[in-house]
Structure 1
Amino acid sequence: MAETLQFELVSPEKLLVSEPAEMVTVPGSEGDFGALPRHSPMIATLRPGIIDIYEGGNIRNRIFVAGGFAEVNEERCTVLAEEAVPVSELKAEDAAARLKAAEEALQAAETDQARAQAKRAHDVAVAMQAALSGGQPAAH
């Protein structure tokens, strides 16, 4: 049996995943990274994208995250996600509605803070649509 690390995914509502994994790929703000057993300690910010959980050399589970933070060490990868949804539960109509709302908010934004919030919502909606089509948006 392959060596594993403990993977935990926590959202504001609850602990979503706590299980061993051979590898976890995470959408870091500076690019995707893979967390493996005996990984060097690091903390990273996340961009909207997909976390892939591997077992037996194959992807066992895919989870969309809207952003957050990851802490990795030799034995564990912990993700604190702003929002997390299994890719299998994403719906195209929800992503389209979020994108429309974000575009409307961008047009209506009158302050830098409002524009930044609307841009963030837009980035999440675009990443959600990319997850539905089987891909990941490019890192910014």
Structure 2
Amino acid sequence: MAATFKFELVSPERVLMSSDAEQVVVPGVEGQFTVLPDHAPVISTLAPGVIQVTTPDAKKGIFVQSGFADVTGDSLTILAERAFIVDEVDPRQIQEELDAAQKALESADDDEARNHIGRAIEELKALHAEA
């Protein structure tokens, strides 16, 4: 059994992380799962939450809003719609975005807008809890 596997997390803006990993804990929509070397192939939709990456040198948390995880025996690729490295997040900025979203929710005039803003608020709350 290999000691590590290739891990890559890509957002539309950039590659957030590309490294060898010993273990990655992923927030899937059907529950959290852990990827280890030689993991069985699987594709999963991501839930908002923190991906916990353990490399030979460090541990890192990466918040994902949504996306997909593609696991093969020797790699894990995360395609995230929006992602932030937890240590780089400014809690004050997240709080400002949360306040603005809550004001927008109060003035939303249709169900579709309220649902969209409500999802954004839940994601911001989850990110704020990790920051």
Task: Tell me the alpha carbon deviations over residues 2-39 of structure 1, each in whole angstroms, 9 at most, x when there is no partner.
Answer: 61111010000122211110111111122211111111
Which residues of 2 match residues 1-140 of structure 1 at below 5 A? 3-56=3-56, 60-132=59-131
How far did 1:40 drift? 1.4
How far did 1:87 drift? 0.9
Task: Tell me the alpha carbon deviations over residues 32-69 of structure 1, each in whole angstroms, 9 at most, x when there is no partner.
Answer: 1111111111111112211111135x852111112211
**Alpha-carbon distance in structure 2 between the residues aligned to 1:109 and 1:16:** 33
Which amino acid letter does the alignment assign opposite residue 54 of structure 1? T
How far did 1:117 drift? 1.1
**Alpha-carbon distance in structure 2 between the residues aligned to 1:122 and 1:59:** 31
**Alpha-carbon distance in structure 1 between the residues aligned to 2:98 and 2:12:** 22
**Alpha-carbon distance in structure 2 between the residues aligned to 1:13 and 1:42:** 25
**Alpha-carbon distance in structure 2 between the residues aligned to 1:119 and 1:72:** 31
Q: Find runs of 4+ consecutive structure 1 residues off by over 3 angstroms.
A: none
Gaps of 5+ in 1: 133-140
What SS does structure 1 have at the residue aligned with 2:39? coil
Which amino acid letter does the alignment assign opposite residue 27 of structure 1? P
How far did 1:98 drift? 1.6
Which amino acid letter does the alignment assign opposite residue 98 of structure 1? E
Gaps of 5+ in 2: none
Which amino acid letter does the alignment assign opposite residue 40 of structure 1? A
Which amino acid letter does the alignment assign opposite residue 5 of structure 1? F
Give TM-score scaled by structure 1 length. 0.84
Give TM-score scaled by structure 2 length. 0.90
What SS does structure 1 have at the residue aligned with 2:24? strand
**Alpha-carbon distance in structure 2 between the residues aligned to 1:117 and 1:59:** 36
Task: Tell me the alpha carbon deviations over residues 81-122 of structure 1, each in whole angstroms, 9 at most, x when there is no partner.
Answer: 111111111111111112112212222222222122101210
